[in-house]
Homo-oligomer: A and B are copies of this chain.
Amino acid sequence: MPAQPLRIWTDLRLSGAALELLHQETQPHQLILSKVPASSILSGGEPDPDLQDADIAFGQPDVAGLVNAPRLRWIHITTAGYTRYDTDAFRAHVAAHKIVVTNSSQVFAEPCVEQVLSYMLAQTRQLPLTLGTICGNGSNEWNHLRQTCSTLCGQSVLLVGFGVIARRLAEVLAPFRMHIRAFRRKARGNEGLPVLTEVELPEALATSDHVINILPDNPSSRHFFNGERFRQMKAGSVFYNIGRGTTVDQTALAGALEDGHLRAAWLDVTDPEPLPADHPLRLSPNCYITPHTGGGHAGENESLVNHFLQNFKRHLQGEPLLDRIM
C-alpha cells in the first residue's frame, strides 16, 4: 500500500453496479470522475484539466492531457484498439516517464471471437439464405440448398493479425479440425500454430477457405487488404473483418464480390462507420455488415471495471499488468 492514496481518473460513463464496484474496490484510493466523459467507449474524451492530478488514467483520456500529467504512472484504455495513442511521440513520452499503458483486449476478445465464429457458421450453414426459405423435403430447391451448405470441419482458415483475439479464436476453432494458419509481422514462436511471413502470404491467401482480418488500425495496416490481395484469395473463399475498417480497400472488396471471385464478406467494421446506406458494399447481396457490435455484450461496463480492477491489484503489488501494450 503506497503512503498516499492514489488518484484514479476515469472518463468511463459509469452508473449503478459498475460505479459502485469501482468505488468499493478502489478504496481508500481516490476516484476522480471526469466531468467530460467519453461519449462512447470508441470515441476519445475531450480535454479535462482534472487529468493532470491523476496517478492512474482509466478510460479514453486525450493524448495532450496525458502528456501534461506529471504524476501519471499507468494508463488503462477501455478499448482494444488504441490508434490515437499509437504514435512514436507518445511511445517516447511514456517510455521516458516510465508510464505503463494497458488496453482492454481481454474484455472484448471473447465477444469478438464468438462474433467471428457466428459469421463463419452463418456462412457455411447458409443462414441468410435458408432462414427465408420455405421448401419441401426432397424438392429441387431443398436439394440445392442442402448442397450449398458445408462444414467448417475440414476447411482452412487464415488469421491475419495475431493478438489476444486470434489466439482465442484458434482455441474455439480447435474442435473443428480446420487447417489453421496465421500471419503476423513478427512471429514470436509462442503462437501455437504456423505463422507465415509476408512472403508466404499470397500462397496462404490462395489456399484458405476463410480469411479473417483482425489487423489494428495503423499507418502500415491501411488498405492492407487491397485489390491485389483480394485477387490472391482462393476463388469462392470468404473474407471477414473484425479488426478496423481502414485496413480494407472497400472499393476493391466490392469489386471482388461483384465479379464473384469472393463468395461473401462479413464485416463488423467499416470506413466510415456507419457505412452509408448507398455504399456499394451495402448493396452487394453477399456482403453482411453488423454495426461494430462485435465486442458488445451485456454488462460491458462491469466487465471493463472488473478488468481494470484486476490490473489495479497487480499495480498495487508491483506485478506485471495484463494486456500491456506499451
Contacts and interface: CB of A to CB of B under 8 A. Distances in A.
A138 B176 contact: no
Nearest to A135: B291
Nearest to A40: B138
Contact of A122 (B122, B149, B151): B122
Interface stretch (A97-105, A111-119, A216-224): A111-119
Contacts of A146: 293, 295-297, 300
Interface string A146-165: 11111111000000000000
Contacts of A110: 151, 153
A290 to B, nearest CB: 4
Contact of A151 (B43, B174, B289, B297): B297
Contacts of A135: 274, 291
Contacts of A115: 125
A292 B133 CA distance: 10
A134 B2 CA distance: 48
Contacts of A274: 134-136
A121 interface: yes
A282 B274 CA distance: 31
A146 to B, nearest CB: 3
Interface in A168-184: 171-172, 174-176
A42 B138 contact: yes
Interface string A269-294: 00001110100001000001111110
Q: How large is the interface on A (under 10, 10 to 19, 20 to 34, 35 or more residues)?
A: 35 or more
Contacts of A121: 114, 117-118, 121-122
A137 interface: yes
A174 B143 CA distance: 32
27 contacts: A40-B142, A42-B138, A114-B121, A114-B125, A115-B125, A118-B122, A118-B125, A121-B121, A125-B293, A130-B291, A133-B290, A134-B282, A134-B291, A136-B273, A137-B291, A142-B291, A142-B293, A145-B291, A146-B293, A147-B296, A148-B296, A149-B297, A149-B298, A150-B298, A172-B176, A174-B175, A175-B175
Interface of A: 39-40, 42-43, 110-111, 114-115, 117-118, 121-122, 124-128, 130-131, 133-138, 142-143, 145-153, 171-172, 174-176, 273-275, 277, 282, 288-293, 295-298, 300
